[in-house]
Amino acid sequence: MARKAADAAIGATKTALIEMGRKHGRDIRLVNPAHTTMDCASCGARTKHALPLSERTYTCTACGVVSPRDKNSARVMLVRAGLNPTGADRVRAGGPLLPGQREPGIPALQGGEDVNSRHTSA
């Protein structure tokens, strides 16, 4: 019974998403959700056993790629949708920026510099 209700809720959500996508001219692509946690987004190999939910890191036994479980699944879905997953997220090897770090190309503040002051130095 609970399973039927959950399936109905998923179906209603899917219908609503498709309808909203059409209404707003968005590209909606449905993908088969089977084995998205077992397939490697990098090489396409499939593990023999499903990862337990407690295992948060996907490690491909074929190509050796290591990726957070959910990100690997998201990339698998992008590939299945015919999209290129490499530009989908801004992966930074060291994680989010720490205070004092900066994005490449954006100059760091000098000591005591006030970016909000209006005076010009000439």
List contacts with Zn ion (CB under 5 A): 40, 42-43, 45, 60, 62-63, 65
CB 77 within 8 A of CB 71: no
Least distance between Zn ion and beta carbon 66 (Å): 10
Please say which residue, 3 or 48, places its beta carbon nearer to Zn ion. 48
Query: From the CA atom positions of the chain, what is the Rg in Å?
Result: 22
Please say which residue, 31 or 47, places its beta carbon nearer to Zn ion. 47
d(CA 47, CA 110): 51
Least distance between Zn ion and beta carbon 82 (Å): 19
- Classify 58 as helix, strand or coil: strand
